[in-house]
Structure 1
Amino acid sequence: MKFDPILLTKRHNNYRENSINLLPSENILSDKVKFILGSDLASRYSLFIKDDGNAYGGTRYADEIIIKGGELVSSLFGVKFAEIRPLSGHISAMIALLSITKKNDKIMAISPENGGYDGYSQDFLPDILSLQYRPIPFDVKAWNIDYQNIEKSIRDYRPDVIVLGASYFLFPYDLKFIKDLSEEYGFKIIYDSSHVMGLIAGGEFQKDIFKYAQIVYGSTHKSFFGPQGGILLTNDEEIFERIKDNVVWRTMDNYHLNRLAALVQASIEMKKYGREYASNVIRNSKRLAKNLDQKGFGIRSFRDGYTESHQILIDKKEMCKKLEKSRIIIDCVGRMGTNEITRLGFHEKDVDELSDLIMLALKKNVSRDVIELRRRFRVRYC
């Protein structure tokens, strides 16, 4: 059979439109955002040169999107400055570190063994940027920082930067505690909010974040409504100038105008509906976790409960393949997320129905029932 990417894309769309996605790293886009992604902007360039305007012609509307879009994102998060050009959360992390460290500086971050992002461990971003890495002490029973032992590690290691945030992200941090330590030991705080960006925008997670973190950054497509990409947020003008200097020609070049404009549209949607959405996400997560735990699925519970985010941690990673046979998609590394089903309009009563289907899917194929449930919903909050 001849390779046909259009046909495969149609099949992919049909498959996903008739499946229930519980991946915590993905979300679903509104029609308006998808329209912008497929617009003429997809093949155009823009490059601002200091004091000389744009290096390219034909950018009068694109320029307005970039300038006003940055202002809109700043307003959404209630910060002074927003950099919306990064192509991914990983590139945002690189820009953040470049803007706040120098060679041979020391950083601390949550280890991958405790749910941290692999990119902060020594072989990756620290190696590229000539930084030294040490893991933050972690309390597995609380699924949070080990607040009793972190000061000793800081005193012994003397980090220049502490990176907060994780890939397995359930509970907010005690930022005041960390900030008090930073004032005593002189390190900076940056916060990778890739997974919880939409919950922060909705005011339902880490409400004090901009009071204590010098830079908040991350991806825009997990609990946020946007296409894949990244942003950086700060109230510090000097840091923001360094952030801008570390974008074009240092970490990337073209920033994909269609993606940037789509992010701005997603931010408009988040500004209007984010609080309601974020609140429902967390309610749905808690409901799904409790239901599945009571039914014996193997949900991980911690000192403060199951979760305060979109994520749920599960014990049996091998369940992903069995569930996908019934068109229920989870990741294969021990997580579920309610971010996409909430965007589709699921409420707690719908989560109850889904919980029953998940348990049935462990015993038999329930694809028809899953398709029937999925077809009752469409993208909301837009």
Structure 2
Amino acid sequence: MKFDPILLTKRHNNYRENSINLLPSENILSDKVKYILGSDLASRYSLFIKDDGNAYGGTRYADEIIIKGGELVSSLFGVKFAEIRPLSGHISAMIALLSITKKNDKIMAISPENGGYDGYSQDFLPDILSLQYRPIPFDVKAWNIDYQNIEKSIRDYRPDVIVLGASYFLFPYDLKFIKDLSEEYGFKIIYDSSHVMGLIAGGEFQKDIFKYAQIVYGSTHKSFFGPQGGILLTNDEEIFERIKDNVVWRTMDNYHLNRLAALVQASIEMKKYGREYASNVIRNSKRLAKNLDQKGFGIRSFRDGYTESHQILIDKKEMCKKLEKSRIIIDCVGRMGTNEITRLGFHEKDVDELSDLIMLALKKNVSRDVIELRRRFRVRYC
């Protein structure tokens, strides 16, 4: 059969439109965001040169999107400055570190063994940027920082930067506690909010984040409504100037105007509906976790409960292949997420129905029932 990417894309769309996605790293886009992604902007350039305007012609409307889009994102999060050009959360992390560290500085971050992002491990971003890395002490029973032992680690290691945030992200941090330590030991706090960006925008997670973190950054497509990409947020003008200097020609060049404009549209949707959405996400997560735990699925529970985010942690990672046979998609590394089903309009009563289907899917193929359930919903909050 001749290779046909259009046909494969159609098959992919049909498959996903008739499946229930519980991946915590993905969300679904509104029709308006999809329209912008497929617009003429997709093949156009823009490049602002300091004090010299744009290096390219034909950018009169693109320039307005960039300038007003940054202002809109700042307003959404209630911060002074927003950098919306980064192509991914990983690139945002690189820019954040470049903007507040120098070679041979020391950083601390949650280890991958405790759900942290692999990119902060020594072999990755620290190696590229000539930084030294040590893991933050972690309390597995609370699934949070080990607040009893972190000061000793800080005193012994003397980090220049502490990176908060994780890939397995259930609960907010005691940021005031960390900030008090930073005042005593002189380190900076940056916060990778890739997974919880939409919950923060909706005011339902880590409400004190901008009071204590110098830079908040991350991806825009997990609990946020946008296409894949990244943003950086700060109230510090000096840091913001360094962030801007570390974008073009240091970490990237073209920032994909269609993606950027789509992010701005997603931010408009988040500004209008984010609080309701974020609240429903967390309610749905708690309901799904409780239901599945009571039914014996194998949900991980911690000192403060199951979760305060879009994520749920599961014991049996091999469940993913069995569930996907029934068109229920989870990741294969021990997580579920309610971010996409909430965007589709699921409420707690719908989560109850989904919980039953998940348990049935462990015993037999329930694809037809899953398709029927999925077809009752469409993208909301837009």
The TM-score bracket by the shorter chain reads over 0.9
**Separation in 2 of the partners of 1:276 and 1:193?**
19
In structure 1, list runs of 5 or more residues that go unmatched.
none
Structure 1 residue 361 displacement after superposition = 0.0
Distance in 1 separating the partners of 2:286 and 2:321? 24
Deviation per CA, 1:93-150: give whole Å up to 9, x if none: 0000000000000000000000000000000000000000000000000000000000
Deviation of 1:14 after TM superposition, in Å, equals: 0.0
Separation in 2 of the partners of 1:264 and 1:50?
A: 23
Structure 1 Cα separation of the partners of residues 200 and 111 of structure 2:
23
2-structure distance, mates of 1:94, 1:268: 27
The separation in 2 between residues aligned to 1:101 and 1:214, in whole angstroms, is 13
2:85 is paired with a residue whose SS is: coil
* CA distance in structure 2 between the aligned counterparts of 1:319 and 1:52, rounded to whole angstroms: 56
Paired residue secondary structure (2:133): strand
Alignment partners' CA distance in 2, 1:232 and 1:323: 36
Look up the SS of the partner of 1:216 in the other structure: strand
**Corresponding residue SS for 1:72:** helix
TM-fit CA distance, 1:316: 0.0
Equivalence for 1:95 = 95
CA distance in structure 2 between the aligned counterparts of 1:145 and 1:191, rounded to whole angstroms: 14
Provide the rounded CA distance (Å) in 1 between the counterparts of 2:198 and 2:115.
20
2-side partners of 1:157 and 1:68: how far apart?
42
How far does the alpha carbon of each residue in 1:253-304 deviate from its partner, in whole angstroms, 9 at most, with x for none?
0000000000000000000000000000000000000000000000000000
User: Structure 2: how far apart are the matches of 1:201 and 1:48?
Assistant: 28
Q: CA deviation at 1:168?
A: 0.0
Which whole-Å CA distance do the structure 2 matches of 1:283 and 1:248 have between them? Answer: 40
SS in 1 for 2:79: coil
The normalised TM-score by structure 1 is 1.00
C-alpha distance in 2 between matches for 1:277 and 1:125: 33
What CA distance in whole angstroms lies between the structure 2 residues aligned with 1:160 and 1:304? Answer: 30
Distance 1:180 1:49 in 2: 40
Separation (CA, whole Å) in 1 of partners of 2:47 and 2:14: 37
Counterpart-to-counterpart distance in 2, 1:146 and 1:85: 35
Q: Deviations over 1:160-209 (max 9, x none)?
A: 00000000000000000000000000000000000000000000000000
Q: For the residues of structure 1 that align with 2:50 and 2:176, how far apart are their CA atoms?
A: 38
Say yes or no: does 1:17 pair with 2:17: yes
Post-superposition offset of 1:349: 0.0
Q: CA deviation at 1:307?
A: 0.0
CA deviation string 1:317-370 (max 9, x = no partner): 000000000000000000000000000000000000000000000000000000
| Aligned Cα root-mean-square deviation (Å) | 0.1
In the alignment, is residue 361 of structure 1 matched against residue 356 of structure 2?
no
Per the TM alignment, residue 250 of structure 1 is displaced from its structure 2 partner at its CA by 0.1
Q: Distance in 2 between matches of 1:79 and 1:330?
A: 34
| In structure 2, C-alpha distance between the alignment counterparts of 1:52 and 1:163, rounded to whole Å | 35
Query: What is residue 335 of structure 1 aligned with on the other side?
Result: 335
Which segments of 5 or more consecutive residues in structure 2 lack a partner in the other structure? Answer: none
- Where 2:280 maps in the other structure, the secondary structure is helix
| Structure 1 residue 77: Cα displacement | 0.0
Q: Offset at 1:381?
A: 0.1
**Using the alignment, how far apart are the partners of 1:361 and 1:4 within structure 2?**
32
Give the number of aligned pairs: 382
Question: 1:10, CA displacement in angstroms?
Answer: 0.0
* Cα distance in 2 for residues equivalent to 1:70 and 1:42: 19
Cα deviation for residue 249 of structure 1 reads 0.0
Displacement after TM superposition at 1:232 (Å): 0.0
Which whole-Å CA distance do the structure 1 matches of 2:100 and 2:361 have between them? 48
Other structure's SS at 2:233 match: strand
In 1, distance between residues paired with 2:191 and 2:289?
Answer: 26
> Residue in 2 aligned with 1:43?
43
Cα-to-partner distance string for 1:82-102 (whole Å, 9 max, x where unaligned): 000000000000000000000
**What secondary structure is seen at the aligned counterpart in 2 of 1:162?**
strand
Deviation of residue 48 (structure 1)? Answer: 0.2
Q: What percentage of residue pairs aligned between the two structures are identical?
A: 100
Q: TM-score, normalised by structure 2?
A: 1.00
Cα displacement (A) at 1:64: 0.1
Partners of 2:157 and 2:43 lie apart in 1 by 48
Secondary structure at the counterpart of residue 183 of structure 1: helix
**CA deviation after TM superposition for structure 1 residue 53, in Å:** 0.4
Cα distance, 1:236 vs. partner? 0.1
Q: Distance in 2 between matches of 1:49 and 1:77?
A: 27
Per the TM alignment, residue 32 of structure 1 is displaced from its structure 2 partner at its CA by 0.1
Once the 2 structures are TM-superposed, how far is the Cα of residue 58 of structure 1 from its aligned partner?
A: 0.2
Q: Distance in 2 between matches of 1:49 and 1:118?
A: 34
Q: Which runs of 4+ in 1 moved over 6 A?
A: none
Rounded to whole Å, the distance in 1 between the matches of 2:164 and 2:115 is: 12
